[in-house]
Every structure is written in C-alpha cells, then in structure tokens.
Amino acid sequence: MRRLVVSEHPLVRVLVTRLRDRATAPADFRGLVGRLTMLLLHEALADVVTVPHGVATPLAKSEGADLAAPIVFVPILRAGLGMADGALALWPDAEVRHLGLYRDEATLAPVVYYDRASGASLAGATVVVLDPMLATAGSAIAAVDRLTSLSGATDIRFVGLIGAPEGVAALSAAHPGVPIHLAALDDRLTSQGDPWPPGYILPGLGDAGDRQFATSAD
C-alpha cells in the first residue's frame, strides 16, 4: 500500500476548492468537511481485511463478508470533529475516541488537554486518525505516539484534508508504517514575513477549527 495517497478524485478536487474559499460560511464548511471525509475514507479503508460471513436471505443462504477487525475513528479536537461526523455517516458502527490537542502558538508544539483515545487497548483494531490539517505534523505524531505506546495500536491510518510537504515528511519519518491520505498536498508552511503567522499551510484554508465553528483567533 502506498504511504502517501493524495486523492485525484474529481469530486474531491471540486469540494476542496469550495473548502478553501474564504467566502465559504461555517455551515457550508462543515458540510464540505464531512463530504470530503467520506470520499477519502472510501479509499483509506479499501484494504481492510474481511472474513467470510454467511447470511440467510429470505430466499437462500449466501456467503458474504464481515470486518476482521473493528474500525476506530480518532478525531483530533477541535477540527477533527467535523471529520468524525462524516466518518460516522460512512461507517456508523465505528467506535469514536476523542483526542484533544492544540498547538502552542509560540512553539507550535502539540499540547494534550483531553484524551479519551488512548488507554484501553487498540490492539487488532483499524484505527483512523482524523484531522483536517497536517501542517508541522506535531499533532499527528503526538496522536500516533499515544495510540501506539499507550494502547498498542498497530494498524493506524491518518486521514486529513490538506497537508504541507513538511508535515508529510515529518509524519512519514516518525511513523513510516502509517499511511497518509489527503485531499490535497499544498506548497509549504508559512514562515516569518508571510501574511499569516509561521506554521500555517499555504495556500491552505486558514484555521480549520475557526472556520468550522465560527470562532476567531483575534
């Protein structure tokens, strides 16, 4: 399986364009996040293992399939919440474990403030980390660190919407076994002298949490 998959689906390209648009209102933004998540998960889960599962139709017995392992979604708060809605629309049977992280504004280092994700075992589960933005990847790496070291997860996939090359390189280096699925791979992170503070994705979409929940950094 390829480790970085940037969707080439035309519907994804159209929806990402709308998502980036600064004129897109929060209600529409949330809807786009959910729809994009469903499209990306379709591909990110294409290789999950199934086991034979017989079923009796009203007419006859038939051979079907069931999942070999449970699916667990781990949305990173806040911005992963909209992705969780889309993920559950696609696969309502999944367990959802929330992980609250924010980036320290000065250092960009991730700070954990809520963890209902790690602790109970995730051994054998198909774990999907959901976060729309892969910028420095500090948040994604911290999430995968916890899920592996505290819960024993071995099958972890990262599904995001927009990534920076710096974040893809950092996550791949820290966790080479974690496939990364994105709707778009952007140019770079902002640095001193750019219109936005350092560490934002260019061209990106701005602050994914603020845009979903109508808050402002100001």
The answer to the question of residue 200 lying near ligand URA (CB under 6 A) is yes
Q: How far is the CB of 19 from ligand PRP (least distance, A)?
A: 14
By CB under 6 A, the residues from 66 to 105 that bind ligand URA are 79
Q: How far is the CB of 1 from ligand PRP (least distance, A)?
A: 23
Paired strand residues for 73:
96, 128
| CA triple 162-6-28, angle to 5 deg | 45
The answer to the question of residue 204 lying near ligand URA (CB under 6 A) is yes
Nearer to ligand URA, 81 or 201 (CB): 201
* Chain residues that interact with ligand PRP, rule: CB under 6 A: 76-79, 101-103, 108, 110, 131-140, 167, 199, 207-209
CA distance 39 to 59: 34
As given in the structure block, the two tokens for residue 87 are 């993920």
Q: How far is the CB of 160 from ligand PRP (least distance, A)?
A: 9
For the chain, the residue count is: 218
Q: Which DSSP symbol is given to 197? A: P
Task: Sort strands 50-56 and 61-67 into parallel, antiparallel or unpaired.
Answer: antiparallel
160 binds, among ligand URA, ligand PRP, none (CB under 5 to 8 A by kind): none
Inter-residue contact 211 to 205 (CB < 8 Å)? yes
Site for ligand URA (CB under 6 A): which residue of 133, 161, 180, 182?
133
Nearer to ligand URA, 85 or 207 (CB): 207
30 upstream amide cis, omega within 30 of 0: no
Inter-residue contact 86 to 37 (CB < 8 Å)? yes
By CB under 6 A, the residues from 13 to 52 that bind ligand URA are none
Inter-residue contact 67 to 90 (CB < 8 Å)? no
The answer to the question of residue 129 lying near ligand URA (CB under 6 A) is no
Binding footprint of ligand URA on the chain (CB under 6 A): 79, 133, 135, 200-201, 204, 207-209
